[in-house]
Amino acid sequence: MAASGGGGGDELREALLVAGTNGKAEEDLEEIRSVRAFLRHAAEENRKLWHLAGPAIFTSVAQYSLGAITLVFAGHLSTLDLDAVSTENNVISGLAFGITYGMGSALETLCGQAYGAKQLGLLGVYLQRSWIILNAMSVLMLPIYLFATPILRFFHQDAEIAAVAGRLSLYMIPQLFAYAFNFPIQKFLQAQSKVMAMAVISAVALVFHVALTWLLVGPMQMGLVGLAVALNASWWFVVLGQLTYILMGYCPGAWNGFDWLAFSDLVAFARLSIGSSVMLCLEFWFFMFLIVIVGNLANAQVAVAAVSICTNLFGWQIMVFFGFNAAISVRVSNELGAGRPRATKFAILVVLMSSVAIGLAFFVAVLLLRDVYGAPFTDNPEVVRAVASLGVVFAFSLLLNSVQPVLSGVAVGAGWQWLVAYINLGCYYGIGIPVGYIIAFPLHGGVQGMWGGMLTGVGLQTIILVAITLRTNWDKEASEANSRIQKWGGSAVAKVSE
């Protein structure tokens, strides 16, 4: 499905043969062989990628910041409140986020390839199918919110943290259903390159969230309840803003109103959605396990607070690369849907060069600022020192994860979700977590040992994805894109083709 043949000088030369988006691959064959031609085409591809990635990065950072800002306010209430909000945000809501984001990401493949093949009418049907599946899944996830405290205690989380986090989880149920609507809408808009509208709505939502959180936690002194109310309201602001944009007619051809076809062919659609979810959840939950396992160390509240601050900052960085993830997924799916394999390969090459450069910048910044970057999140000097002690392992995490989300975006754009899910399962849970646990507990490596050991899984997964991407026969992938549209679109394809 993914990898086949190819390598060496021929593969490198092919990677430099850009097709662009005008379908003139063969005409560009000779001129791309010079360095000047390569730089010219790279600059053009960079422009296309940043046209998508810039607003997508801002959208991802802004939406992630809703929870991160909530964590900042919680840190100035008490260390226990900081731990509880972080645990709810990373474990309970993190579980829901991973499942709904992953299932919604199926639309990156479906909508992207349909848009590239100019079958616009399928996009609206796909969106509605995704809403049905994700809201059904959200209902199934309700017990996780309702019984969060005993679930956290089962994993030996600190009793006080589990009790407060469980109470907060009950308040955060509206956010669960906001996720179910938001992520399909995002992928629907991204496939059409409607990323600027998403960025504007997210910017307004972020300003709204800061103001509302300050009002409820500051002057009104509502504490954790105020944090929950503000976070729920802000997520629904994003959902309703994007939905209004669609219903006002800014997606002509792609949105043609509600259609009964949304209820047909749900099984095949659900299978791809579940594959996307498994693939991404295995990545999200990997760091969720870090929070849970660290809760079993001595001085758990300080350890959890330190890791929570690092994972919060890590999340901001990951959102930057989620922007690249979205951009390369759209580029890959659009180009494959349009039957342009060389443009696909060139887009991957350019986005990897950009993401690695930014990852190196983050790596250096963390090492230089490791003694101070924890201070804005807490008034506890012991926690700030604990955060500083994680600086080196945190910096390497940022560097490795500058590449991994981009490669995942390539996989989603090509429709390899199940393949990557198996890779993630083996690398993260077969190797990363066991190695980290052994270093942290039997070898007494503590938090640094746990996190450092887990990085072995991330490194192995990155190497495997690089190898698969290099060896993939993109001509074959492009030729199979139309058959995927037929398979996943079902009866909707027949109607759109009439």
Q: For residue 1, tell me if it sits in a domain.
A: no
Backbone angle region of 193, left / alpha / beta, with phi > 0 → left and psi within -120 to 50 → alpha: left
Number of domains in the chain: 1
* pLDDT number for residue 147: 94
Judged by average pLDDT, the poorest of 63-67, 322-326, 396-400 is 322-326
Please tell me the distance from the alpha carbon of residue 246 to that of residue 260, in angstroms, as a whole number: 18
Q: Tens digits of per-residue pLDDT, 226-235?
A: 999 999 999 9
Residue 434 has pLDDT above 80, yes or no: yes
Q: Which residues pair with 3 in a beta bridge?
A: 472
Q: Looking at the predicted structure, is the pLDDT value of residue 208 above 60?
A: yes
Residue-level pLDDT at 483: 65
pLDDT at 248: 93
Position 381 pLDDT exceeds 70: yes
In one-letter notation, the amino acid at residue 393 is V
How far does Cα 311 stand from its chain's mean position? 14
- Mean pLDDT for 198-202 is 95
Decide if 2 is inside a domain.
no
Say whether pLDDT at 163 is over 50. Answer: yes
Can you give the pTM of this predicted structure?
A: 0.72
pLDDT at residue 82, as a whole number? 82
> What pLDDT is stored for residue 228 in this prediction?
94
Quote the mean pLDDT of the chain: 80
Tokens matching residue 487:
């398979």
What are the residues whose beta carbons fall under 8 Å from the beta carbon of 59, sequence distance 6 or more?
186, 195, 198, 199, 202, 323
pLDDT digits (tens, 9 = 90+) for 21-42: 334 433 333 345 667 777 787 7
Q: Which residue has the higher pLDDT, 491 or 128?
A: 128
> What are the angstrom distances between the C-alpha of 215 and each of 11, 232, 388?
58, 15, 32
The Cα 477–Cα 491 span in angstroms is 23
Residue 17 has pLDDT above 50, yes or no: no
Residue 233, CB-side half-sphere exposure with 13 Å CA sphere = 17
> To the nearest whole percent, how much of the chain has pLDDT over 90?
19
Average pLDDT in the 112-135 region? Answer: 87
What's the confidence (pLDDT) of residue 227? Answer: 93
Fill in the amino acid letter for 183. F
242-247 contacts: CB < 8 A, separation 24 or more?
242/182, 242/185, 242/186, 242/189, 242/197, 242/198, 242/201, 243/181, 243/185, 245/189, 245/194, 245/197, 245/201, 246/185, 246/188, 246/189
pLDDT of residue 448: 78
Q: Please check the confidence at residue 496 and state whether its pLDDT lies above 60.
A: no
CB 60 within 8 A of CB 322: yes
Q: What's the whole-number mean pLDDT along residues 245-253? A: 92
User: Residue 148 has which token pair?
Assistant: 């969060």
pLDDT at position 423: 87
Does the pLDDT value for residue 445 go beyond 70?
yes
pLDDT of residue 35: 75
* Region 248-256 average pLDDT: 90
* Residues 374-398, mean pLDDT to the nearest whole number: 80
Dmax (CA) for the chain in angstroms is: 68
* 3-class secondary structure per residue, 277-309: HHHHHHHHHHHHHHHHHHCCCCCHHHHHHHHHH
What is the rounded CA–CA span in Å between residue 69 and residue 330? 29
pLDDT score recorded for residue 482: 62
Alpha-carbon span 377 to 383, nearest angstrom:
9
Task: Report the C-alpha gap between 367 and 71 in whole angstroms.
Answer: 23
pLDDT interval class at 131 (50, 70, 90): very high
Q: Is the sign of the CA dihedral 272, 245, 182, 330 positive or negative?
A: positive
135-139, 190-194, 347-351: least confidently modelled range: 347-351
What is the reported pLDDT for 27?
35
Q: Find residue 472's DSSP bridge partners.
A: 3
Q: What pLDDT does residue 16 have?
A: 33
The angle at the Cα of 273, spanning 466 to 451, to the nearest 5 degrees, equals 50
* Residue 367 belongs to a domain: yes
Which range is least confidently modeled, 9-13, 211-215, 350-354, 356-360? 9-13
Compare 335 and 209 and report the one with higher pLDDT.
209
What interhelical angle do 121-146 and 474-489 show, nearest 10?
80
pLDDT > 90? residue 189: yes
- Pair of tokens at residue 277: 């979810």
The HSE-up count of residue 461 (CA atoms within 13 Å, CB side) is 33
Cβ(256)–Cβ(121) under 8 Å?
A: yes
User: What average pLDDT does range 248-270 have in this prediction?
Assistant: 83
Phi, psi of 256 (to 5 degrees): -120, 30
Mean pLDDT for 128-146 is 94
Q: Which tokens belong to 385?
A: 């020192």
Q: Give buried/exposed letters for 413-432 (b at 16+ CB in 10 A, else e).
A: bbbbbbbbbebbebbbeebb
By residue range, what is the domain housing residue 215? 8-497
Tell me what pLDDT residue 137 has.
92
Q: What is the pLDDT of residue 200?
A: 95
CA distance 182 to 276: 16
Instruction: For residue 147, give the nearest of 169, 127, 125 by alpha carbon.
Output: 169
Query: Mapping DSSP to helix (H, G, I), strand (E, B) and coil, where does residue 254 land?
Result: coil
Q: How far is CA 263 from CA 113, 177, 490, in A?
A: 21, 19, 11
Q: Is residue 126 a part of any domain in this protein?
A: yes
